[in-house]
Every structure is written in C-alpha cells, then in structure tokens.
Amino acid sequence: MRNILQAPFMKEFCATAANMYRLGWDERNGGNISVMLDGGEVGKYLDPSRVIRTIPTGFDAKPLAGKIFLVTGTGKYFKNVARDPETNLGIIRIAADGTTAELLWGYKDGSRFTSELPAHLMSHMARREVDPSNRVVMHCHPTYTLAMNYVHPLDEKQFTHTLWEMCTECIVVFPDGIGVLPWMLCGTNEIGEATAEKMKEFRLVVWGMHGIYGVGKDLDEAFGLIETVEKAAQIYMLTAHLPRLNTIKDDELKTLAEAFGVNYRKDFLNL
C-alpha cells in the first residue's frame, strides 16, 4: 500500500484546512469539511475490507451507502490538521444500513467525526440530486460574512442582492444566490434537514449568527464560493456606514450575468 499521507486528496485537504485557519474562518474547533472520495483511489492507500470500528451516524443516510468520506473530527482544531492528520481526520464508509459509519482510517485517539456529520451527509444527498458531481461540503465561520448577519436583514433576496453589488464577479461566481436560515441549534438533525432543503436550490447557505455552508465538485470550488462571499461581505462591512456614491445597478448585473452565460436568479434583481 502507498503512504496515505502522500495521497493527493489528503495533501489537498490538509492544505485547505490550514488555509481556512490562516484566514480566520475556523477558530479553535469551529467548522468542518467532508469530501466524498473515489473508492478506487482510496484502495491504493487502504485495505477497504479492514474496518477499525463502527460509529453510529445518528440518522439514515442509506442513499450514500458504500460511499467513502474524508471528514474532520469532532473537537479538532483546523490548525492541527496538517501537523497530525491521523488524529484530526478520519476516512469513513457509510455502511449498508445507512445508519452506521465504518472507520477505515484516522481518529486514532478514539474520537469520531464532527457532530455536524448528519448535516453534511444530508447536504451531500440533496446536492447530488441536483448535481451528481458534488463531492464537498464545507462549513466555516468567515468573519465579515458573520458580522454582516448582525446588521443586514437575513432575507435571501436582500442578502444575495447586497453581495452581488459589492464585487463585479459575485453574480458570476454565485448566480444561484445564497440561502439563509435563521439562528438554529447546531449539531442537530433539524438544522441539517433545513440546510439540505436549502441545498436543493443554493450552493451556499448562511446559518444566521453562526457561519456558512458551501458545496462543490472539489475543495477549490467550495472554498472559492465562500471566499468570494467573504470578500463581498468585507467590502459591505467597510462601506455600509458611509454614503454610497456608486454601485453596480441591477441592469448592469443582468448584462454581466448574461455576458458570462450564467443561470442567475432573475427574481433576486429589481428590474
């Protein structure tokens, strides 16, 4: 078997976690990531028949039975992921019953996956119905996006529209807009179900006064979505208290979206 720490998916995951910590998106043990791995690729580094232990998932994820995920651990700090992946990460396979995760590697201190795993798996299931190429669910607490929650209406159209106005690239990068949930108790199936419902329509979901969920076909796409939102939120927070002399008008947003050929939320513009 090859050294799993040298696997491209492992190195990319560790680099992404380190970058998210560096940017201040994942303080302490805040945030979590799950990546659906290719079973054939995993087989180059692990014996898939060797199950270290089983862990209840807390809900029925039968549509994902047999799928393998690389997932951050509960209570683990993003700043430690690259230094000690085997303690801070785990590779799990959803068992045939859908309610059990088979640990194939990691969590070597006896811990388990993030408490948000049900929310992640629910989002994976919802997004794969929309886009079968979706493999990544990423949750974090980006500073300016979170700050914006306290001074801006938590309305999907208004929140999206404001961010679209902040940077020319925004309507091109997330033309489908941003879903918004009110404050809810984290780590529960209820917030997971609400997030998954939003994921049928959006690739980004704000958890009110908490953080954001982003999804994508790979780590770069999910990271880039959140990064773009955070940049726009930063510009908003830096300018919201000042008189606005200029803005990107709705007809200009329409022209921009159509020039780039993206399927944007027309109902989020005021035309």
**pLDDT tens per residue, range 210-261:** 999 999 999 999 999 999 999 999 999 999 999 999 999 999 999 999 999 9
Residues in CB range of 36: below 8 A, 6 or more apart: 67, 68, 69, 124, 135, 136
Which residue in this structure is represented by tokens 């969920």?
213
Domains in the chain and their CATH numbers?
1-114 (3.40.225.10), 116-271 (3.40.225.10)
Determine the Cα–Cα distance for residues 81 and 14; give it in Å rounded to an integer: 6
Taking each helix axis as running N to C, give the angle between helix 219-239 and helix 156-166, from 0 to 180 degrees, rounded to the nearest 10.
90
pLDDT number for residue 70: 98
pLDDT number for residue 146: 98
Structure tokens at 236: 């908003």
CB neighbour burial string for 150-180, b if at least 16 within 10 angstroms, e if fewer: eebebebbebbbbbbbbbeebbbbbbbbbbb
Q: Which residues of the chain carry a pLDDT beneath 50? A: none
Of 179, 164, 139, nearest to 255 by C-alpha is 164
pLDDT number for residue 37: 98
230 residue type, one letter: E
Catalytic sites, residue numbers:
116
Longest Cα–Cα distance of the chain, Å, equals 63
pLDDT number for residue 1: 80
